[in-house]
Structures are given as C-alpha cells and as structure tokens.
C-alpha cells in the first residue's frame, strides 16, 4: 500500500481536532457577511471585529471603493500576468511614483501581496556570497524570502542590537554584503524595534538595513511612514517594505529605496518576474487610500485613542498584555486549551479577535491578539471591554476551582 501523501500532517490534524473539541474553528471562521470595517455577521451573529489589521478602517472608504469601480470599467478585472510578460500599465507607474513621493524616496516597486514583496526584495537583494541577518521573531514571509535567497542566514535575538553587533563582528571579512532585516512593529506581540540602535550597528559594520513596516505603515510617524519615521531614522534605513493589506485596506505590497539601481530587482528577482502584477482595481483603491492617509491625519489620532482605550481597559481588567501601547494588543493566555476556550467565549459573545498559538508566535506564546482600527467607535470598544470583563471573571473562577 502506498503511503498516504497527507500522513506527514497527522500531528497537525490531531492538534486541530483537539481544538475543535473545545468549540468553533478559530482558523476557519466563516464570515456570512461583512458589514463594515469593524462589523460582520459571523455564524448568524452580529460581531465586532477586533482582529482584522484594518488599522485605518479604509476598506469601505467611499473614495477608495469608487476608484476601484472606475478602474474595473476602464482597465478590466486583472492584468493576467507579470509586468515582464504583459507590460506595465500607467497605474503601476503612477502608484509607484505615489509611494516614492509618500516616502520621499527615489524608487518604489509594487507587488501583488505583502508576502511577495518580502520574498522579492529579500531574495533579490541577498546573493550567493552575501549574509542575511534576521531578527528571531521575523514574519513567515521574511523567513521564506531567506529560503529563496542563496545567501546564508544568521539569526539574532529579537530586538537585540547588541546581539546583532556580535553576530556582525563574527562575520567581519567574510562574504560580500550583509543585509539586516527587522520589522517596525511586530505583528504578534505588538512590540516595536529599537531602530535607532539597529542603525548604529548597521553603520558600524557597513551593513544594509531593511525594515518591514507592514503593521506600522499608516499608523506610526507624523506622516504615517512608519516606525522609521517615528524614530527619526528614515535616512539610514536602506529598504522599506510594506503591504496594502492593512492600513491601505486592499491586498498587495510595496518596497521603497533610494538606491539608484533598485529597479534591477525587476530583472533579477523571481517573485517579481514570475507572478502576475496587482489588479487595476487594487491599484486604484490603494492610490486613493494613500491620498486619504495624507489628507486625514485624524485617522492616526483616532487609532491611537482607540488603542489607548482598549489597552488600558484590558490592563485594568487584569489581563497580561504582551507589550506597551500599540494598535496590536496581545493578551497572554496560560496555555493552549485556555486560549482556545477564551477565544470561543469571545466569538460566542460577538467579539472577533485572533487566536495565535505556538508555531505562529514567539517563544511558544498562546495569545488572544486584538488589532484596533481608526474606524472603531469608542462605544464599540466599551462593548468589547464588557465582553472581556465577563471572560476575566470566568477565567478567575476556573483558576480558583483548579
Ligand atoms: N510582513 C508582515 C510583518 C506581516 O505581518 C505580513 C502579513 N500579516 C506580511 C508581511 C505579508 O503581507 P500580506 O498579508 O499583505 O501578504
């Protein structure tokens, strides 16, 4: 008998089955109907969304929706291929110009997902005789980019510039270029990178620095350019990568740089060359969303006020929060079973958050991960806190009973 090709996933299947024994499927939530940036009908229940990464709430922004509709009419539903094969539309060029202008950089490239943006940038920049130095808590798309690159990857401890310094010292005289990769705001715990310190280390060793601002773009910095802007170190960050799928309310990705030869990635990076370019409707809504970010700084004021309300409210309820204030608020749960039970209580009470378990989290953490939006009303956050209060008392009674 041939071995079943899915046998290798037996442990994943078992773990998933155990999880389904506790309640609903946290990794297969079916949205009956999306109502707005902050609400949906899930399992027939009106639900407040607190786990969408829709930071600025622009998914239903009338100007963005109108721009996407108009692009469908003029340019059709898809580009049906990569730009190498099918050419570059005006929309590609103008959107890249808009990103370059937004970041005050010479160069920008857009991609079809943020995941692809990381793959393309990392494997395009780091060649056979180079080294990649990646933060231990990096996102999967960063690790996958390192796997596509022929460069050797060296890991340094999360948010530890001193450890990076030691790693780079050991590599002195070896290889050609050193590419350091960190994120601005980390997606699971909601902690930010000490970029100014990383910049010092990169300068000392003549390395290159790439920052993934997927979660910080639109939220951090006086103009929403991310943590590099907030920490005043943009000049010393060589490459910034980001996504359309969070603050920009669509799907796709971008990379910006000042290097005059950055466009060479278009001829050297396989994820760029061999995948279809973003659709016209996506590019149109993103161009409008960028405009909205420039036009409406109050979106940032609002998301920070909402983050403060949820963060301080959860802290007051006695939850163990994983990081200081940010729009990502992750609550640490003592173990997987409790985390799954708690996630179920919340969804049953009409609150959607992300369940994040070991395998997808740093250091085996079990998390209820919330992300706040500028589109949340303070009253919605108050309702969410009410549901968390009920959860806190249930967790308390269980602890006492144990
Ligand atoms: N980088 C980081 C840090 C992310 O968290 C994500 C996705 N959550 C990505 C890149 C990939 O972006 P996308 O989902 O747009 O492909």
Q: What mean pLDDT is predicted for residues 152-177?
A: 98
Q: Is 187 in the pocket of ligand 1 (CB under 6 A)?
A: yes
Q: Is the pLDDT of residue 63 over 90?
A: yes
List beta partners, residue 257. Answer: 107, 239
CATH for 10-49+297-401?
3.90.1150.10
Q: Give the CATH class of 61-295.
A: alpha beta
Q: What mean pLDDT is predicted for residues 272-297?
A: 98
What confidence category does residue 9 fall into, taking pLDDT thresholds of 50, 70 and 90?
A: very high
Across 221-353, the runs of DSSP E, i.e. the strands, are: 239-243, 253-257, 328-333, 351-352
Please report the pLDDT score of residue 45 as a whole number: 97
Closest residue by Cα to residue 305 from 368, 401, 393, 380: 380
Please report the pLDDT score of residue 376 as a whole number: 98
The chain-wide mean pLDDT, for the chain, equals 97
Please report the pLDDT score of residue 82 as a whole number: 97
Closest residue by Cα to residue 262 from 150, 109, 116, 129: 109
Q: Is the pLDDT of residue 377 over 80?
A: yes
Rounded distance, CA 179 to CA 77, Å?
37
Known active-site residue 320? no
Q: For 90-104, what is each residue's pLDDT tens digit?
A: 999 999 999 999 999
Please report the pLDDT score of residue 168 as a whole number: 98
Q: Is 118 in the pocket of ligand 1 (CB under 6 A)?
A: yes
Using the atom order of ligand 1, give the atom closest to the CA of residue 251.
15
DSSP codes joined into one string, 324-393: SSSSEEEEEESSHHHHHHHHHHHHHTTEE-EEE-TTSSGGG-EEEEEE--TT--HHHHHHHHHHHHHHHH
What confidence category does residue 1 fall into, taking pLDDT thresholds of 50, 70 and 90?
A: confident
Q: Is 212 in the pocket of ligand 1 (CB under 6 A)?
A: yes
Please report the pLDDT score of residue 202 as a whole number: 98
Q: Is 214 in the pocket of ligand 1 (CB under 6 A)?
A: yes
Rounded distance, CA 181 to CA 237, Å?
10
DSSP 24: S
Q: Is the pLDDT of residue 265 over 80?
A: yes
Q: Is the pLDDT of residue 201 over 80?
A: yes
Q: For 66-85, what is each residue's pLDDT tens digit?
A: 999 999 999 999 999 999 99
Q: How far apart are the first and last CA of the chain?
A: 48
- CA–centroid distance, 394 to ligand 1, in Å, is 34
What confidence category does residue 111 fall into, taking pLDDT thresholds of 50, 70 and 90?
A: very high
Rounded distance, CA 20 to CA 188, Å?
23
Q: For 389-399, what is each residue's pLDDT tens digit?
A: 999 999 999 98
Q: What mean pLDDT is predicted for residues 369-380?
A: 98
Please report the pLDDT score of residue 399 as a whole number: 87
Q: Is 139 in the pocket of ligand 1 (CB under 6 A)?
A: yes
Which residues, 6+ apart, have CB-to-CB distance to 274 below 8 Å? 82, 84
Please report the pLDDT score of residue 308 as a whole number: 98
Q: Is 92 in the pocket of ligand 1 (CB under 6 A)?
A: no
- CA–centroid distance, 106 to ligand 1, in Å, is 24
Q: Is the pLDDT of residue 211 over 80?
A: yes
What confidence category does residue 125 fall into, taking pLDDT thresholds of 50, 70 and 90?
A: very high
DSSP codes joined into one string, 88-156: --HHHHHHHHHHHHHHT-SEEEEESSHHHHHHHHHHHH--TT-EEEEETT--HHHHHHHHHSSSEEEEE
List beta partners, residue 135. Answer: 156
Q: What mean pLDDT is predicted for residues 50-62?
A: 98
Cβ atoms of 323 and 158 closer than 8 Å:
no
Q: What residues does each domain of the chain span?
A: 10-49+297-401, 61-295
- Cα distances from 335 to residues 130, 133, 314, 358, in angstroms, run 40, 31, 19, 10
Known active-site residue 393? no
Rounded distance, CA 91 to CA 102, Å?
16
**Among 92, 246, 311, 376, which one carries the catalytic annotation?**
246
The rounded percent of the chain whose pLDDT value lies above 90 is: 98
Q: Is the pLDDT of residue 344 over 80?
A: yes
The rounded percent of the chain whose pLDDT value lies above 70 is: 100
Q: Is 113 in the pocket of ligand 1 (CB under 6 A)?
A: yes
- Cα distances from 383 to residues 28, 374, 390, in angstroms, run 25, 16, 11
- Taking CA atoms only, the protein residue closest to ligand 1 atom 1 is 214
10-49+297-401 matches 61-295 in fold? no
**Among 138, 141, 187, 373, which one carries the catalytic annotation?**
187
- CA–centroid distance, 348 to ligand 1, in Å, is 28
Q: Is the pLDDT of residue 54 over 80?
A: yes
Q: Is 146 in the pocket of ligand 1 (CB under 6 A)?
A: no
Using the atom order of ligand 1, give the atom closest to the CA of residue 118.
10
- CA–centroid distance, 23 to ligand 1, in Å, is 28
Please report the pLDDT score of residue 179 as a whole number: 98
Using the atom order of ligand 1, give the atom closest to the CA of residue 138.
3
Which residues, 6+ apart, have CB-to-CB distance to 79 below 8 Å? 86, 89, 276, 277, 278, 279, 280
- CA–centroid distance, 214 to ligand 1, in Å, is 6
């Amino acid at each position: 008998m041939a071995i079943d090709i899915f046998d290798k996933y037996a442990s994943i299947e078992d773990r998933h089955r155990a999880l389904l024994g506790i309640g609903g499927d946290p990794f297969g939530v079916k949205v009956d109907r999306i109502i707005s940036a902050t609400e949906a009908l899930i399992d027939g229940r009106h639900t407040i969304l607190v786990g969408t990464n829709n930071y600025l709430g622009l998914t239903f922004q009338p100007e963005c929706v109108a721009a996407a509709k108009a692009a469908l009419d003029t340019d059709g539903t898809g580009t049906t291929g990569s730009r190498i094969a099918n050419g570059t539309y005006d929309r590609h060029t103008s959107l890249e110009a808009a990103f370059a202008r937004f970041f005050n950089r010479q160069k920008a490239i857009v991609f079809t997902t943020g995941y692809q943006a990381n793959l393309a940038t990392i494997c395009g920049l780091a060649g056979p005789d180079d080294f990649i130095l990646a933060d231990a808590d990096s996102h999967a798309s960063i690790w996958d980019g390192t796997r596509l690159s022929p460069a050797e990857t060296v890991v340094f401890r999360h948010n530890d510039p001193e450890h990076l310094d030691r790693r780079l010292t050991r590599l002195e005289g070896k290889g050609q270029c050193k590419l350091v990769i960190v994120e601005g705001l980390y997606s699971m715990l909601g902690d930010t990178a000490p970029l100014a310190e990383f910049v010092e280390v990169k300068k000392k060793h003549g390395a290159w620095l790439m920052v993934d601002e997927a979660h910080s773009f639109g939220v951090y910095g006086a103009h929403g350019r991310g943590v590099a802007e907030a920490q005043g170190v943009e000049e010393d960050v060589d490459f910034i990568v980001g996504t359309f799928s969070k603050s920009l309310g669509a799907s796709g990705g971008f990379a910006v740089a000042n290097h005059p030869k950055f466009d060479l990635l278009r001829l050297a990076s396989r994820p760029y060359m061999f995948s279809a370019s973003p659709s016209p409707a996506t590019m149109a809504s993103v161009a409008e969303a960028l405009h909205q970010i420039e036009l409406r700084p109050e979106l940032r004021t609002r998301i920070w006020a909402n983050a403060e309300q949820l963060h301080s409210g959860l802290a007051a309820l006695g939850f163990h929060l994983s990081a200081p204030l940010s729009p990502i608020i992750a609550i640490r749960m003592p173990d997987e079973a409790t985390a799954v039970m708690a996630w179920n209580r919340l969804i049953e009470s009409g609150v959607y958050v992300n369940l994040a378990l070991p395998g997808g989290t740093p250091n085996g953490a079990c998390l209820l991960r919330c992300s706040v939006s500028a589109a949340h009303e303070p009253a919605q956050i108050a309702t969410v806190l009410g549901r968390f209060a009920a959860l806190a008392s249930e967790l308390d009674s269980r602890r006492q009973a144990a």
